[in-house]
A and B are shown apart, each in its own frame.
Chain A
Amino acid sequence: MFEEVGTTPEGDMIINVGPQHPATHGVLHLVITLNGETIKKVEPHLGYIHRSIEKMCESLSYRQFIYVTSRMDYLSAHMNNHACAMCVEKGLQVEIPPRAQVIRVLMSELTRIASHELWWGAMAMDLGAFTPFFHAFRERESINDIMEETCGARLTMNYMVPGGVMHDLHPNFQQRVKAFMKLYKKKIHEYDEMVTGNIIFQNRMKNVGVLSANDAISYGCTGPTARGSGVSSDIRKLYPYEIYNTLEFDEVLETGGDSFARYMVRIREMQQSIRIIEQLIDNIPEGDFQTKTKAVLKLPKGEFYSRVETARGELGVYIVSEGGTTPYRIKFRSPGFSNLSVLNHISKGSKLGDLVAMMGTLDLVIPDIDR
C-alpha cells in the first residue's frame, strides 16, 4: 500500500519543508534529507516570491525605482530606500542637508529595532514559545505608530528620496520616540526573563549550528550572522555613511558562532540602536529636509555603488548608468541570500528541531532573498 517514494537510494527520508510551512516565514522551500531525526542535507529551493525587482527597477526612473525596493526586505524598508537614495545621490553628486542625514539615521535605527523585535518574537515562536511574539509586538507597534505619523505607512515607508527625505518630521516625532524608549527600557528585562535566561532556550541554542569565522567569510555572511562568529562586518563602522562616524556606538561582536551568539548579537544590537537614538533625538538640526533636485533625474554615464547596514547585513546597490533617465542595470546584493547559503553547512548532523532554530537565528526574509 505504501509506495517507496520520497526516499534516497540509501534509504534516507526526503522531506519537503515549505513552500507553505509555519517555520519558513514565507515561501522558502527546503528539501531536507533526513536519517531519522538527523539532518544529512538541506537544499533550499528559491524563486517562489521572485518578482524580478531588479528588472522592474531598470524600467523605472531614478525617483520611482526606490519605491519598489521597499518590497525587498520589507522589515528594513527604510534601509533599502536609504541605500538606493545614497547611490543616486552619489551619481548626482549632491550633498544632503544635515537635518535629512539625522532623520535618515534615526529612522534606520528605529527600523532596525522594529526588525529585531519581530525577529525575536518569530524566533521564539519557532522554538515553540508563543508568548514572546506578542510581547515583541507591543514594542514594535509603538515604532510602527511613529512611522505611520511621519511617513504615512507602517511597513513600506518609501520615505527616503534622492536628496533627503520626502517630508519633514511630524511634530509629535520626538515625544513619541522618547515615549517608545521609556517603554522599551521598562520592558527589556522581560526579554531576558522570558527567553534569554530560560534553561530550555539556552540548551536549544548553545553549541547548535556553529559557524566558524572562516566559513562566515567564505560564504559571504554579513550582519549579525557574521558578527555572531566574530567577523567584524558592520558597514556603519567599516564604511561609515551619513553621520555614523560622528556617533558613539559599539559594533556588537560575539565569538561563539553558534545560534546563541547570533541571538545575543541581535539583542545587544537593539541596545546600541537605542544608544544612537538617544544621542540624536534631542539634537536634530534645524534646516531643510531635502536638497533641491531637478524634477527628472539623470545620472551621468558610469557605475555607482553604495552600501548600508540593514537589520540583516550588508545591502549593496549597484547602478550602471548610460546617462539616461532610467538605470541601464541595477543589481542588489541582498544579505539574506548569502546568509541562507550557510544553512546546509551549519545544519548537517543536527536534529530537525534545531534546523528551525537555526533558520530563526539567520533571520531570513524570503522576499529579500528572491527579490
Chain B
Amino acid sequence: MWSFSNIANNIHAWLGNNFNPTMTLVIEMVLAGVAVIGLFAGLGLVLVIMERKVSAWMQIRLGPNRVGPKGMLQSLADTIKLIVKEGLTPDGADKFLFNLAPFIAMIVAMLLMAPIAFAKDFQLWDLNIGVLFVSAVSSIMVISILMAGWASNNKYSLMGAMRSGAQIVSYELSAGLSILTIVVLSGSLSVSDIIYSQADGWWIFKGHIPVLIAFVTFIIAVTAETNRAPFDLAEAESELTAGFHTEYSGMKFALFFLAEYVNVFIVCAIGATLFLGGWMPFHIGSWEGFNQVMDYIPSSIWFFGKTFFLIFVIMWFRWTFPRLRIDQLLNLEWKYLLPISMINLLIVTAMAILKWHF
C-alpha cells in the first residue's frame, strides 16, 4: 500500500544497496534536512494563504484572488517580493544580535519538526523523550524574540519583547502540565508510543472530562506561546505598531513571519498527536469492522486533517477575539490556568493509577 513509511523504507533500502553505511547515513541526513527546509517553506506558504482565506471568509470579503487560481500563488509572490527587498538594519541597532535573532526563530521552528510523526511510522527522529524535547526547544523561541526586541534599539520593540518574555515563560507552565496529563496516561514520553497508545480510541475520548480540560488548557496556552491573537501582545499593532519586529524588513521579517506560522503548525501537530491520536485513524474500542474501514483512509490524511482543523480553530480565535491586556493575560495564566492544570494533573494521575479511563 502507498504510504510515507514505505517510500522511506524503499529509499533506505536502495541507498543501503548502493552505498556504504556511512555514506547512506550522510545522504539520509541531507535528505531529511532538505525535506525539513522544504516543509518549512511549503508550510509557510500554505498557512499564510490559509490564514488570508480564512480571515477573508470571516470578514465577508474575498481575500487574495489575483495571482494564480483563486489567488493561491499570492503568498509565493509575496515571498519573492520579500526576498528581493532590502533588509534594513537600523543605525542604532546591535547589528550582530539584530541579524541573528530571525535565524534563531527559524532554527527553533525547524528543530521542533524532528519528533513529529507525519504518517504511520514516518518520523524524522523517534527519540524516546520526544514530548520533552518539544517543550524544551520551544522555550528557545523567547530568546529570539527578546534578542530582536533588545537589539532593535526601539522602544516599541523593547516593550513587545518584554511582554513576550513574560507571556511565553508563563504559558509554558500550563502547556507543559497539560502535555504531562497525556504522558501520565500513556506512560511514555515518546511520540510514537503515545500515538500507539491511542489505537483503541483517542485520549480526548478515552480520558473523560479531565483530558478535555487539559486539551482546552493546551489550546489556550499554545495560542499564547505562539503569540497569536487574542494573546498577540508582543506585536499588538494598535499599541506597539509591530512589536518586536517593528524594525525588521525584507527576508529577516519574513523569517519571523514564517517561523510564527510553522510554530502554529507544530503546536497544532503536537496537540493533534497528544489528544487526537496523531496519524491514528478514528477507532472505537473493539468494533473491528468500523476500525478497518477507518484504516483505509491514509494515515497522513488523518494527521494533516486533525492538524489543520486545530490550525483553523486557532485562526478562528485570531479573527474573532479582541486582544487581552498584559495584566489580564498574566492573571489568566497564574490565577486560573495554572491552578486548574495542576489539580487536573492530580486527577488524571489518580485516574491513570486506578485505571478509570477506557
Which A residues form the contact surface with B (CB < 8 A)?
1-2, 6, 13, 15, 21-23, 37, 124-131, 133-135, 138, 194-195, 198, 200-201, 203-204, 351-356
Tell me if B58 counts as interface (CB < 8 A to partner A).
Answer: yes
CA distance A22 to B241 in the complex (A): 6
| B277-328 at interface with A (beta carbon < 8 Å) | 319-328
Listed A/B pairs (16) with beta-carbon separation below 8 Å: A22-B237, A22-B238, A23-B238, A37-B159, A37-B327, A128-B236, A130-B319, A131-B55, A131-B319, A138-B60, A194-B320, A200-B321, A200-B323, A200-B324, A204-B322, A353-B236
- Does residue B94 face the partner (Cβ distance < 8 Å to A)? yes
Output the least CB separation between B337 and chain A (Å). 15
Interface size in chain B (residues, C-beta < 8 A): 31
B232 within 8 A of A: yes
User: Residue of A at shortest CB range from B328?
Assistant: A203
Shortest Cβ distance from residue B281 to the other chain A in the assembled complex, whole angstroms = 35
- On chain A, the residues within 8 Å of B232 by CB distance are 128
Give residues in B with beta carbon < 8 Å to A: 55, 58-61, 92, 94, 153, 155-156, 159, 163, 229-230, 232-233, 236-239, 241, 319-328
Give chain A's interface secondary structure class: helix
Among A134, A198, A201, point to the contact of B59 (Cβ < 8 A). A134
* Min distance, Cβ A143 to any Cβ of chain B, angstroms: 17
Q: Quick check: B241 and A352 within 8 Å, CB to CB?
A: no
Q: Please report the C-alpha to C-alpha distance between residue A139 and residue B124 in the assembled complex, in whole angstroms.
A: 52
Question: Bound state CA distance, A355 and B230, in angstroms?
Answer: 18
Q: A1-B94, A23-B239 are in contact. Are A131 and B322 (CB under 8 A)?
A: no
Chain A residues positioned under 8 Å from B163 (CB to CB): 37
| Known contacts A134-B61, A353-B236, A127 near B155 by CB under 8 Å | no
Would A130 and B326 count as touching, CB distance under 8 A? no
B111 to chain A, nearest CB (A): 30
Residue among B94, B229, B237, B321 facing the most chain A CB atoms (10 A cut-off): B321
Q: In the bound complex, do residue A352 and residue B321 qualify as a contact, i.e. CB atoms below 8 Å apart?
A: no
Taking CB atoms, residues of chain B closer than 8 Å to A352 are 159, 239
What residues of chain B lie closer than 8 Å to A15, measured between beta carbons?
155-156
B59 contacts A131, CB within 8 Å? yes
Q: Residue among B155, B239, B324 with the most chain A CB within 10 A? A: B239
Q: Is the CB of A131 within 8 A of B58?
A: yes
- Which residues of A are found within 8 Å of B58, using beta-carbon distances? 131
**A-B CB pair tally, cutoff 8 Å:** 85
Residues in chain B near residue A22, CB distance under 8 A: 237-238, 241
Q: Are A204 and B59 in contact (CB under 8 A)?
A: no
CA distance A126 to B323 in the complex (A): 9
B322 touching A37, Cβ below 8 Å: no
CB-CB < 8 A to A37: which residues of B? Answer: 159, 163, 326-327
Which of B60, B61, B323, B326 contacts A128, CB < 8 Å?
A: B323
- Residues in A whose Cβ lies below 8 Å from that of B92: 1-2
Minimum CB–CB distance for A119 against chain B, Å:
14
Instruction: Tell me whether A126 and B230 are in contact in the complex, defined as CB-CB below 8 angstroms, given that A131-B58, A194-B320 are known contacts.
Output: no
From A13, A21, A194, residue with most partner B Cβ within 10 Å: A21
Select which of B153, B321, B325 is within 8 A of A129 by beta carbon.
B321
Cα–Cα, bound, A13→B155 (Å): 9
**A residues near B236, Cβ cutoff 8 Å:** 128, 353
Which residues from chain B contact A351 at a C-beta distance below 8 Å? Answer: 325-327
**Nearest CB of B to A241, in Å:** 37
Bound Cα distance from A21 to B232, whole angstroms: 18
Pair A128/B325 contact, Cβ less than 8 Å: no
Q: In the complex, A20 Cα to B328 Cα: how many Å?
A: 28
> Closest residue of chain B to A21, judged by CB?
B241
Chain A minimum-CB-distance residue to B324 = A200
Note all chain B residues with C-beta closer than 8 A to A2.
92, 153
A356 touches B326 (CB 8 A): no
Please give the distance in Å from B241's CB to the nearest CB on chain A: 6
The 6 lowest CB-CB distance pairs between A and B, nearest first, are A128-B323, A127-B322, A134-B59, A129-B322, A353-B325, A23-B238
